[in-house]
Chain A
Amino acid sequence: MGVIFDHIDLWAVALRNTLLLFFAGGGIALVLGLIVGAMRVSPVPIARGFGTVYVNLIRNTPLTLVFFAFAFGYPQLLPSPGYTVLAIWALGIYTATYVAEVVRAGVNTVPVGQAEAARAIGLTFGQVMTLVILPQAVRSVVPPMMSVFIALLKNTTVAAGFSVLELGSVRAYLSERGENALIVLLWVAVIFVVLVLILSFVQRRLENAWRIAR
């Protein structure tokens, strides 16, 4: 426990930044992913095309390269908002593609007759999506969506290589202070296990709350 309590200041900052990356990046991913997912099932060819290109381009790029583009490429073009903000955008834009695919899969679980009925009573495409399709789609995508967010939580450690002090960089800090690197990594793993358990708990609660009779 000494590894934790002797350096509690460092652990606190690292945990805070990890959670910041997770929630801010996750927020961007959720909003952007819903929009792009809707685009991919929309009747507008341009929107479908854009969504397809975006998903395939970003999803086929390793996260580290996305980070490189944001941390080192972006500041060459525009004034840099700081590495933490850039890391949040990199995580958000990368994870959004996975969210979009999960949303698309969820939309495909809703019987097509639902959409046809909604169109028949005169709803616009936007209304069909927000009032009829998405509420039903969201219910069936809770488990895969949570998997995406668990992956995002662990992906935050990539930011350690790009000048953000978070749980991924704790090992370098503490080994420099003479702690055993393996024990530090063990504690980092324990923290992640606890965080993922919390997410799993949230997932179960959501599943129960939104359960419907099929």
Chain B
Amino acid sequence: MRHTRILTGASVAAAAALLLSACSSGSPSNPGGTTGSDIDGVPWEVATNVELDGSPTFDAIKDRGKVIIGVKEDQPNLGYLDVTTNERTGFDIDIARWIAASLGYDEDDIEFKAIASANREQALVNGDIDYYVGTYSITDKRKEQIDFAGPYFVTGQGLLVRSDDDTITSEADLNADTTVCSATGSTPIQNIRENYPEVPTEEFDLYSACVEALINGDVDAVTTDQAILIGYAALYPDEVKVVGEPFTEERYGVGIAKGDDVMRAHINDLFEDGGTVWEEIFERNLGDSGAKVDQPDVDRY
């Protein structure tokens, strides 16, 4: 697949729009080419005339005429839904859009579904969603039920504390007087329970509830993947800050139905041959955090 620059992409888009409007049958007009996206200033183009033989997921997408993507909506700058404007933004969301574009579907043909962590595997197994992009850590146990493309991002468990709090600088400072909050049953809170049994924990369904509790002073730290915390630190720069180094390794992958190797190879190819698209997506969403992160190599197991 050719990757043209945005400028040419735009001109191709104009031409393609004319061509597409001219042929009502929807037959391919520029095989193997790309067109621009509906959204302004994105680093990817929408592929046209995509063929993925032997991918049940892609067949389902084609029959439906739209892509259904599972995402998160409570993680600023990763997977976030602004309820006032109804706009979805974030690194994971853009990765999801990029994959949809590579399959030939633009913003208007995407249906986002917010799926809670505990329901992700089931949603993929049932075929409720075509793929899932939302801070989804690759684990061997999960691979028994589903498959992962990627990883497209590597992070680790971090800590978020109040800006004026200097007593907690890393996980070593956690003790019986520091209450830690995270999402109910999430891996980070299980880590704390297991490795720091004396540390009191609180668990809520949403990270936002934890961050609120932190700002109110009800808890002393919020723990989860550092990428999510960076997003919150960017949202409330005056109230909270991320401290310490990540003390675990989480590799985010794209969850897809088990056994759809064609789709998995397609997404892995996209990540490998994407050129600068990954960097641009990172810059768009997490650039303000000042973190310098490189795209990880994909793992074709």
Residues of B within 8 A of A165 (CB): 203
The A interface, classified by DSSP as helix, strand, loop or mixed, is: helix
Residues of A within 8 A of B184 (CB): 160-161, 163, 169, 172-173
CB-contact partner of A172 in B117, B141, B142, B202, under 8 A: B117
Using an 8 Å CB-CB cutoff, how does the interface string of B108-152 with A read, 1 for contact, 0 for none? 000000000111111000000000000000011110110000000
- Whether A178 touches B122, Cβ cut-off 8 Å, given contacts A161-B184, A173-B190, is no
B118, B120, B121: residue with the most chain A Cβ atoms closer than 10 Å: B118
CB-contact partner of A178 in B139, B185, B205, under 8 A: B139
Interface residues of B, count at CB 8 A: 23
Q: Are A178 and B144 in contact (CB under 8 A)?
A: yes
Residues of B within 8 A of A83 (CB): 202
Complex alpha-carbon distance, A181 and B120, angstroms: 9
Q: Are B122 and A173 in contact (CB under 8 A)?
A: no
Complex alpha-carbon distance, A162 and B145, angstroms: 29
Complex alpha-carbon distance, A175 and B125, angstroms: 14
Chain B residue nearest in CB terms to A179: B141
Residues of A within 8 A of B205 (CB): 161
Nearest-neighbour CB distance to chain A for B255, whole angstroms, equals: 12
Complex alpha-carbon distance, A140 and B94, angstroms: 64
Does A214 lie at the interface of the complex (its beta carbon under 8 Å from any beta carbon of B)? no
Nearest-neighbour CB distance to chain A for B181, whole angstroms, equals: 8
Using an 8 Å CB-CB cutoff, how does the interface string of B200-214 with A read, 1 for contact, 0 for none? 001111000000000
Q: Are B186 and A172 in contact (CB under 8 A)?
A: yes
Interface residues of A, count at CB 8 A: 22
Nearest-neighbour CB distance to chain B for A172, whole angstroms, equals: 3
Q: Are A181 and B119 in contact (CB under 8 A)?
A: yes
Does A171 lie at the interface of the complex (its beta carbon under 8 Å from any beta carbon of B)? yes
Within 8 A of B (CB), among A164-189: 165, 169-182
Does A126 lie at the interface of the complex (its beta carbon under 8 Å from any beta carbon of B)? no
CB-contact partner of A181 in B118, B139, B186, B203, under 8 A: B118
Does B170 lie at the interface of the complex (its beta carbon under 8 Å from any beta carbon of A)? no
Complex alpha-carbon distance, A169 and B119, angstroms: 13
CB-contact partner of B185 in A162, A172, A180, under 8 A: A172
Does A75 lie at the interface of the complex (its beta carbon under 8 Å from any beta carbon of B)? yes
Complex alpha-carbon distance, A56 and B59, angstroms: 56
Within 8 A of A (CB), among B10-66: none
Residues of A within 8 A of B117 (CB): 172, 175-176
Complex alpha-carbon distance, A165 and B187, angstroms: 14
Complex alpha-carbon distance, A201 and B179, angstroms: 42
Q: Are B118 and A171 in contact (CB under 8 A)?
A: yes
Complex alpha-carbon distance, A179 and B119, angstroms: 11
Complex alpha-carbon distance, A83 and B205, angstroms: 14
Does B218 lie at the interface of the complex (its beta carbon under 8 Å from any beta carbon of A)? yes
Binding site for B on A (CB under 8 A): 75, 80, 83, 160-163, 165, 169-182
Binding site for A on B (CB under 8 A): 117-122, 139-142, 144-145, 183-187, 190, 202-205, 218
Given contacts A170-B185, A172-B118, A175-B121, 5 further A-B contacts (CB under 8 A): A175-B185, A177-B187, A178-B139, A178-B145, A180-B122
Q: Give 29 pairs: A residue, B residue, CB < 8 Å, sorted on A.
A: A75-B218, A160-B184, A163-B184, A163-B202, A169-B203, A171-B118, A171-B185, A172-B184, A173-B184, A173-B185, A174-B185, A175-B117, A175-B119, A175-B120, A175-B185, A176-B117, A176-B185, A176-B186, A176-B190, A177-B187, A177-B190, A178-B140, A178-B142, A178-B145, A180-B121, A180-B122, A180-B145, A181-B121, A182-B122
